[in-house]
Amino acid sequence: MSIDLLQKQIIEKKNPTVLGLDPRPEYIPPHILSAHIAEKGETLQAAADAYYTFNCGLIDALADIIPAVKPQSAYYELLGHAGVEALQKTVAYAKSKGLYVIVDGKRNDIGSTAAAYSDAYLGRVTIGDTTFAPFDADSLTVNAYLGSDGIDPFIETCKKFDKSVFALVKTSNPSGGQLQDLLCGDRNLYTAVGDLMARIALDTVGEYGYSCVGIVVGATYPTDARTLRKRLKNSFFLVPGYGAQGGGAADVAPCFDEYGHGAIVNSARAILCAWKQSEAGDGSDYQSAARAEALRMRADIADVVTVL
C-alpha cells in the first residue's frame, strides 16, 4: 500500500514530519500577494494564485528534507473555485517533486456519497471514454465516526489505486474528549474507533506492517497516544498538535514504535510564517526561513525519536 511509500521516504530522509500547507492571505509574503493583486485586482483569483506561488516556493525549498505535505482543503475552499484549482495544482506540483501528499479534508458520508468523496480525492472519474484523477492525492483524512460503512468505500479505492486514508480517532482539539473519551463498556470511544479502523483494514497491511487506514492522534494527548500505539500495531499515526497547538517533541514520541516508525508529525503555521520572525521580516527570505524552521523541527524530534 502507499503507506509503505510514506514510511520509506521518512526512513530515507530521517525526518518524520509533514508540512501543513494551510495558507491564508496574511501568511503570504507581501511581495507575492501584491504582485498577483497588481495583475488581477483584489480578487479571489489573485489570492488563489498567490497561494500556489507561495506553496511552490515552499515545496522547492523543502522537498529534499521533508517526506510529505498536507494541504488543508478548507483554506482553499475559502477562495471558491479558484482556491480549489490552487489545491489541485498544489497536489500535482508536490507529487512532481516526489513528495507524499495527504489532503486534509476530513471527508465522510455513507454509501454512494462516501464513494464519490473517495473517487474525487483518491480515485478516478470517467467522462465518456476519458478517465480523470480529479485530485490524485496519495492520502486523505476521513471522519471515522459514521462507522465502517463510511470508511469501506475509501478502503476499496485505496486497494484499487494504492492509496491511504487517515481516520480521526483521538484529535488534538481541547473539546474532543467531550465525545471521544466517553466510556463504551471497558473502552473509551476513541479506543473503540481505533480498534474498528484496525480491524476493517487488516487485510491491507504492507511491507512495513501498516494498513491503508492510518489514524489521527493528537500530540496534545501523549498518554492516550501511548495507549493507542501499544494497542494498534498496524496503524500509522498522523500527528497534529505539535508547535502552535502546544505539543512538543516529548509529546509526539509515544506515537512512534521502537524503530522510530509508524507516525508522521504535522507543522503548518510555524513553517509557513517563519519569515515573520526572520531578520528581513518582509518575506523576501521566506524560503530560507521556512527551511530553517523545518530543520529545527526535524532536529527537535530527532532528540527523542530515532528513525532506523
DSSP β-ladder status, 125-127 and 130-132 = antiparallel
CA-only gyration radius of the chain, Å: 19
Q: Among 70, 106, 163, 170, which one carries the catalytic annotation?
A: 106
Active site residue 106: yes
Grid coordinates representing 202 are 487488516
Listed in sequence order, the DSSP H helices in 109-175 are: 111-121, 152-161
Q: What is the DSSP letter of 130?
A: E
105 close to 115: Cβ distance less than 8 angstroms: no
Q: Which residue has the cell 521556512?
A: 290
The one-letter amino acid code at 124 reads R
Residue 240 phi/psi, 5° resolution?
-85, 175
Q: Residue 264: CA atoms inside 13 Å, Cβ hemisphere, count?
A: 30
The continuous run of DSSP H or E covering 34 comes out as: helix 30-40
Q: Crossing angle for the helix pair 152-161 and 111-121, nearest 10 degrees?
A: 30
How far is C-alpha 251 from the chain's CA centre? 18
Spatial separation of the C-alpha atoms in residues 123 and 115, rounded to whole Å? 9
Residues in the chain: 308
Active site residues: 106
